A and B are shown apart, each in its own frame.
Chain A
Amino acid sequence: MRTIRPGFFRRTFASTPAIRSSWSTGPSPPRLPKEEQELFEKLQQSSSGAFSAPKTAKPEVQPVEPVLAQSSEAGDMLAQLRQKAQLAAKGDGEELHPNIRRGAAPEFEGDVNPKTGEAGGPKNEPLRWGAGSDWSYNGRVTDF
Chain B
Amino acid sequence: MCREAAKTVYELENYGMPFSRTEDGRIYQRALGGQSLEYGKGGQAYRCCAAADRTGHAMLHTLYGQSLKHNTNFFIEFFAIDLLMVDGACVGVLCMSMEDGTLHRVFARNTVLATGGYGRSYFSCTSAHTSTGDGNAMVARAGLPNQDFEFIQFHPSGIYGAGVLITEGARGEGGYLLNAQGERFMERYAPTAKDLASRDVVSRSMTIEIREGRGCGPDKDHVLLQLSHLPKDLIYERLPGIAETASVFAGIDITKEPIPVLPTVHYCMGGVPTNWKGQVLTVDSVSGSEKTVDGLYAAGEVASVSVHGANRLGANSLLDLVVFGRACAMDIAEKSERGMPHTAVPDDIGHDSLAEMEAIRNSEGDVLSAQIRADMQKVMQTDIAVFRTKDSLEVGNERLGKIQQDFKNRLAVKDKSMVWNSDLVETLELRNLLTCAAQTAGSALAREESRGSHAREDFPDRDDKEWMKHSLTWQRREGDKVEVGYRKVTGTTLDEEECKAVLPVTRSY
Asked if B265 is an interface residue, CB under 8 A from chain A, the answer is no
Asked if A93 is an interface residue, CB under 8 A from chain B, the answer is no
CB-CB under 8 A from B244, the residues of chain A are: 101-104, 138-139
From 97 to 130 in chain A, residues with beta carbon under 8 angstroms from any chain B beta carbon are: 101-105, 112, 116-124, 126-130
Q: Is the CB of A139 within 8 A of B239?
A: yes
Knowing A139-B166, A141-B155, say if A122 contacts B240 (CB, 8 Å).
Answer: no
Asked if A44 is an interface residue, CB under 8 A from chain B, the answer is no
| CA of A127 to CA of B170, assembled, Å | 13
Q: Is the CB of B241 within 8 A of A104?
A: yes
Interface size on B, residues (CB 8 A): 41
Q: Is the CB of A119 within 8 A of B168?
A: no
Q: Is the CB of B28 within 8 A of A118?
A: yes
Asked if A140 is an interface residue, CB under 8 A from chain B, the answer is yes
CB-CB under 8 A from A137, the residues of chain B are: 53, 241
Asked if A23 is an interface residue, CB under 8 A from chain B, the answer is no
Q: Is the CB of A138 within 8 A of B241?
A: yes
Asked if B242 is an interface residue, CB under 8 A from chain A, the answer is yes
CB-CB under 8 A from A132, the residues of chain B are: 33
- Partner of A138 from B22, B32, B245, B315 at Cβ < 8 Å: B245
Knowing A119-B20, A133-B169, A133-B172, say if A139 contacts B241 (CB, 8 Å).
Answer: yes
Q: Is the CB of A123 within 8 A of B53?
A: yes
| CA of A89 to CA of B20, assembled, Å | 32
Asked if B164 is an interface residue, CB under 8 A from chain A, the answer is yes
Asked if A143 is an interface residue, CB under 8 A from chain B, the answer is yes
Asked if A51 is an interface residue, CB under 8 A from chain B, the answer is no
Chain A minimum-CB-distance residue to B22: A117
Chain B minimum-CB-distance residue to A126: B53
Interface of A is mostly: loop
| CA of A140 to CA of B167, assembled, Å | 6
Asked if B243 is an interface residue, CB under 8 A from chain A, the answer is yes
Knowing A104-B240, A124-B240, A133-B172, say if A139 contacts B167 (CB, 8 Å).
Answer: yes
Chain B minimum-CB-distance residue to A122: B53
Stretch at the interface among B44-52, B323-331, B390-398, B416-424: B44-52
Knowing A104-B240, A134-B168, say if A139 contacts B245 (CB, 8 Å).
Answer: yes
Q: Interface 1/0s, chain B 163-195, versus A by CB < 8 A?
A: 011111110100000000000000000000000
Q: Is the CB of B314 within 8 A of A135?
A: yes
| CA of A124 to CA of B242, assembled, Å | 13
- Partner of A129 from B19, B164, B172, B240 at Cβ < 8 Å: B172
Asked if B31 is an interface residue, CB under 8 A from chain A, the answer is yes
Q: Which of A127, A136, A139 has the most CB of B within 10 A?
A: A139
| CA of A91 to CA of B407, assembled, Å | 61
Chain B minimum-CB-distance residue to A128: B169
What would be 10 A-B contacts, judged by CB atoms less than 8 Å apart?
A104-B244, A118-B21, A122-B20, A124-B53, A127-B31, A139-B170, A139-B240, A142-B165, A144-B155, A144-B266
A residues lining the B interface (CB < 8 Å): 101-105, 112, 116-124, 126-144
A120-B19, A137-B241, A140-B164 given; name 8 further pairs at CB < 8 Å: A119-B22, A134-B155, A134-B169, A138-B240, A139-B241, A139-B246, A144-B155, A144-B165
